[in-house]
Structure 1
Amino acid sequence: MFIRFVGLVDQLNSYRKSKISNRNFLVVAAVLVGVFAGLAASLLKTITHHIESFLQTDLNWQYKYYLYLLFPMIGIFLSVLYVRRFIRKGKFETGLTPLLYTISKKSSHVETHNIYSQIITSALTVGFGGSTGLEAPIVTSGSSIGSTVGRFLGLSQREITLLLACGAAGGIAGAFNSPIAGIVFAIEILLPEFTIPAFIPLLLASATAAVVARFFYNEQLFFLATEGWVTSSLGYYILLAAVIGLFSIYFTKVNYAIKNYFYQINHPYKKVILGGLMLGVLVFLFPTLYGEGYITIKNLLKGDHTAVITNSIFSSYSTFPALIIVFTLVTVFAKSIATLVTLGAGGNGGIFAPSLIIGGLLGFTVAFTINTLGIAQVNTANFIVAGMAASLGSIMHAPLTGIFLIAEITGGYVLMVPLMITTAIAYLINRSVNKYSIYTKPLADKGELSHHEDKDTTVLNMMKLKYLIEKDDLILNENDVIKNRLTDILQSKRNIFPIVNELGLFKGLLYVEEILKKSISLNNDSEFTVKELMKDAPIVVNINAELKDVLQKMEAENVWILPVLDQENRFKGFISKTAIFNKYRAMLVRQAQYMD
């Protein structure tokens, strides 16, 4: 049955290749991906909010509020349990870093289980109060949809990458009802190179996902009432940008510290217990940390300046402006820790939503402080919106995504200039310290990052060493007598030969020049073995090595060809600069012809 199905798919692919151009077919495929991504986004948000509603409203028990200390740990535990019990064949990873690695090094092959596993685990984590966001999981889920559709249709790696980006754009568009931000996110974060022909599939996938999601989940995220901005407030927007830029640097450093702390804990359930208890205490003290935290920002935008402190144990002090400011600042730092603890303990989510919450709270703090001290009277809602854009743009190193996302979800296009100023400054401050974002730094440290600023590395990362190995070699044994192998040596096209021992292990290299020198200096009837003339290889290459590293080694040793060995030190063939450069040129030609 399966064989017949595969045969039918092959026939359909052959038919469409003869009847439909790649450009037009990718448009159709992008719309299909957009439909599924929109469904996935609406499903994730619906499940999550149903869990939240049940725990907070429908669950009637006189002691249920004591369970708020345990709810986050229960959610993380269920998420970890699901992964360990039901995802055995594949690998489950969270965040956008693994997705970027997949694009760079795994031919954009996102495992299919991510379509549903990301939804299940993130809904459990956030629904039970995990202080993180749903956007990274829906991006991974949408990307898996695009990757799976591309592989199913037998598309090339480049085309699969485009559909992967379409799925990610659709996920963002469906989750936020923000199709423009979805497109910008895919271009700014995921696609190492952007070409104009790729814009149309991204546009259609993002728009389709937004339309589909609205059918099933039509709830506006934020409502912004503003009369615009005034030039007299520009200085305060710059101050806000500086504050957020500095905080984003702090957030990045804390991110690595907490990750390393939890990484040292080997037992997964020890992480769950420790992280869950820490998170429970934080949520108890700062209720804003429960789940995504968007409700607090909504209330602040409506003018409820006590929204952060109202439901906390300090609510009786909500009449003191100074306490509101201090409590909000402490909540900002607590939010960053709670988010990273949630992820470190095994929960699934991302820093997308937490970045917005942190930026919104900092924007509120700056504006409320200015108004309280009587320095000036600024629009608090405007600063909340500008803070969200600046925080997202600086932490993720995605300023355009921050600007367009916030403009779309708040309807704040009239604030475009303050959004641009605050986001740009905050991003530049972070970039002055961190060359790479939270997502890309782990890959950059390992040399695994594809980026439009380094096209050579991008192309080399798309090439695999094992497919470029030249295997038409004459392999000599170290005990061979040269005289007996002379005919084979003379008929060979190479002037260098690999030497192995009786067990097939690599020992060294033999150069034709050495044979000629020895033959001239000795009587023709003299017999000498390969071992006598063998030379140590200047350097060897492991079969799993990166091509960029191989080229660097070749340049350092001033050689044109190197032997390739496997993990057991067995000779697998030669890798040459010629083979690398030929493949490199072929990749460039393919990219130039892409979607023609």
Structure 2
Amino acid sequence: MLGEIGRLILSSIIIGIIVNIKLLLIIDLWGLILGLARENVIFLIFPPLGALIAGLLIWNDKFKGLKGWGPGLDLTLEEIKRGEKPPKPFQALLLKLFAQIIGIGLGNSGGLVGPSGRIGYLLAHGLFKEHAETFSLIALSAGIGAALRAPIGGGLFIFELYYGRFLSRLRKNIRKLIYMEIASTIGAFISFINFNEFNLLKLENTALDMETLLSLPIIGLTGGVSSYLFVKYYEKVSNLSNKIGKNLKPFLPSLTSLIIVLLVFIFPSLLRFPNILGHGFDNLIVLKDIEPSNAGELLSLSFILILGGLGKIISNGSYVGAGGSGGMIGPSLVTGGLMGGGIFFILHSLGFVSLEDKAFFIAFTATSTLAGAVGSPLSCAILSYEIFSIKSFYLAIIPTLMADLITKSYLKK
């Protein structure tokens, strides 16, 4: 029989492999659909079709108890706190995998990170029939670590979300945290091998100077506003969809997907923004190499990037809030990166920041937006290094704390 450490290692390896297979399938399928749509917009029929198939499965009376909708991470943490066992873990796992692949793979906007955590949780429980709190948190950490390639931040992220007050709970739960860090490291290592790259999105580092330090409050404010809009819009759509009759529930994801697709039909230039359809990290990859040559280009680019960030809020919140299977972690990072890029180029046009500061501005606004959206400022500061390779990541704790405070303050009203 496998001991505690043996189950931890084996489950983390299997979770890392399954999550990477899912990521490859979705990214390849999504890239194919987007490429076809750029050649002929008629191929945009695929996103609402995928949403319809996924919605009919998720909300079918036979499968509804498997809880395949939504981001999955909040749902899982609530189950763990209540001591609930996941219902039919292997069936729920297959449903979640299929709903993600067919829904997001065919072009709908939704994150892959949070659902990866739930997939890991379901897989581990199905394999080992183990329902202890520690084992559940370990499985979640492996899934998040694999999806974000975050060996340290993955486990810390789940710990911070689950326990809330990090420092006050650390001493009593240090053993759990160590196990969670081992699991997220194993998951991340498998992703390192698969993608042959340590960072999800590597940005060029900049020298630390007074200009950088003075920008931190602006980044925190931008991240806080972005996360507030991101969460508020999702909540509005989710609350509205909950009032819809159960007979119409399976069709809501495809309806919201169709609305987004019609906008792209009307404005084909939106295809320049992969975040409108799909996961959207391509936007940030392109953004790191852009260097406008004059004030007109700077202001135009700022407007486009902020519009792209708002587009991500609408497209992701509409699909996931309506009951589609997708996450919020990746989309909030993309939203923050785009909004941060837009604000950065405005400040650059006014002479307040230099072009060399672009990388940390984008990275810190992205992680601040995530911190505000989910309430995890410490782990998000570390993710500034693990995702974006920003060496001065420790400075991100200032804007991540600001964003978390802003979002919590205004969402309570």
The verdict on a shared fold, with TM-score over 0.5 as the criterion, is: yes
Is 1:165 the counterpart of 2:137? The answer is yes
Structure 2 CA distance, aligned partners of 1:83 and 1:115?
A: 12
Give the aligned partner of residue 278 of structure 2: 291
In structure 2, relative to structure 1, the CA distance for the partners of 1:190 and 1:116 (3 Å cut) is farther
User: 1:359-398 to 2 correspondence within 5 Å?
Assistant: 359-378=336-355, 379-398=357-376
Of structures 1 and 2, the one scoring higher in RCO (CA 8 A, sep 6+) is 2
Q: In structure 2, what residue type is equivalent to 1:67?
A: F
In structure 2, relative to structure 1, the CA distance for the partners of 1:415 and 1:210 (3 Å cut) is closer
Structure 2 CA distance, aligned partners of 1:270 and 1:109?
A: 26
Give the aligned partner of residue 326 of structure 2: 349
Displacement after TM superposition at 1:282 (Å): 4.2
Structure 1 CA distance, aligned partners of 2:325 and 2:60?
A: 16
In structure 2, relative to structure 1, the CA distance for the partners of 1:62 and 1:245 (3 Å cut) is closer
Displacement after TM superposition at 1:62 (Å): 9.7
Displacement after TM superposition at 1:110 (Å): 5.5
User: 1:565-584 to 2 correspondence within 5 Å?
Assistant: none
Structure 2 CA distance, aligned partners of 1:91 and 1:387?
A: 35
Structure 2 CA distance, aligned partners of 1:380 and 1:355?
A: 19
In structure 2, relative to structure 1, the CA distance for the partners of 1:177 and 1:250 (3 Å cut) is closer
CA contact 2:344–2:353 (8 Å) conserved in 1: no
**Of the candidates 136, 141, 146, which is equivalent to residue 114 of structure 2?**
136
In structure 2, relative to structure 1, the CA distance for the partners of 1:383 and 1:191 (3 Å cut) is same
Secondary structure at the counterpart of residue 152 of structure 2: helix
Give the aligned partner of residue 241 of structure 1: 220
**Of the candidates 55, 65, 73, which is equivalent to residue 41 of structure 2?**
65
Question: So what's the TM-score if we normalise by structure 2?
Answer: 0.86
In structure 2, relative to structure 1, the CA distance for the partners of 1:188 and 1:305 (3 Å cut) is farther
In structure 2, relative to structure 1, the CA distance for the partners of 1:305 and 1:385 (3 Å cut) is farther
% of aligned pairs identical? 22
Structure 1 CA distance, aligned partners of 2:212 and 2:277?
A: 33
CA contact 2:58–2:250 (8 Å) conserved in 1: no
Give the aligned partner of residue 456 of structure 1: none
**Of the candidates 124, 141, 144, which is equivalent to residue 102 of structure 2?**
124
Runs of 4+ in structure 1 displaced over 4 angstroms?
A: 84-87, 191-194
CA contact 1:99–1:110 (8 Å) conserved in 2: no
Q: In structure 2, what residue type is equivalent to 1:322?
A: L
RMSD: 2.7
CA contact 1:75–1:128 (8 Å) conserved in 2: yes
In structure 2, relative to structure 1, the CA distance for the partners of 1:92 and 1:326 (3 Å cut) is same
Q: In structure 1, what residue type is equivalent to 2:212?
A: S
Q: In structure 1, what residue type is equivalent to 2:367?
A: A
| Residue deviations 1:184-209 (CA, integer Å, cap 9, x gap) | 11211135765122233222222222
Is 1:257 the counterpart of 2:236? The answer is yes
Displacement after TM superposition at 1:391 (Å): 0.5
Give the aligned partner of residue 54 of structure 2: 79
Displacement after TM superposition at 1:304 (Å): 5.4
User: 1:417-432 to 2 correspondence within 5 Å?
Assistant: 417=395, 419-432=396-409
CA contact 1:389–1:423 (8 Å) conserved in 2: yes
Displacement after TM superposition at 1:150 (Å): 4.5
Displacement after TM superposition at 1:351 (Å): 0.9
Is 1:187 the counterpart of 2:159? The answer is yes
Secondary structure at the counterpart of residue 369 of structure 2: helix
Flag structure 2 segments of 5+ consecutive residues without an equivalent. Answer: none
Displacement after TM superposition at 1:228 (Å): 2.9
User: 1:322-333 to 2 correspondence within 5 Å?
Assistant: 322-333=299-310
Is 1:274 the counterpart of 2:255? The answer is yes
Displacement after TM superposition at 1:86 (Å): 9.9
State the structure with more CA Rg: 1
Displacement after TM superposition at 1:411 (Å): 1.3
Give the aligned partner of residue 508 of structure 1: none
Give the aligned partner of residue 209 of structure 1: 187
Structure 2 CA distance, aligned partners of 1:329 and 1:40?
A: 35
The structure with the greater share of residues assigned to helix is 2
**Of the candidates 29, 40, 49, which is equivalent to residue 18 of structure 2?**
40
In structure 2, relative to structure 1, the CA distance for the partners of 1:87 and 1:205 (3 Å cut) is farther
| Residue deviations 1:35-84 (CA, integer Å, cap 9, x gap) | 11101210111110221233234x5x99732322x232122112123335
CA contact 1:223–1:301 (8 Å) conserved in 2: no
How many residues are paired up?
393
Structure 1 CA distance, aligned partners of 2:372 and 2:38?
A: 44
CA contact 1:130–1:290 (8 Å) conserved in 2: yes
Structure 2 CA distance, aligned partners of 1:354 and 1:225?
A: 22
Flag structure 1 segments of 5+ consecutive residues without an equivalent. Answer: 1-11, 17-24, 307-317, 437-596
Q: In structure 2, what residue type is equivalent to 1:422?
A: P
CA contact 1:166–1:202 (8 Å) conserved in 2: yes
Give the aligned partner of residue 207 of structure 2: 228
CA contact 1:76–1:125 (8 Å) conserved in 2: yes
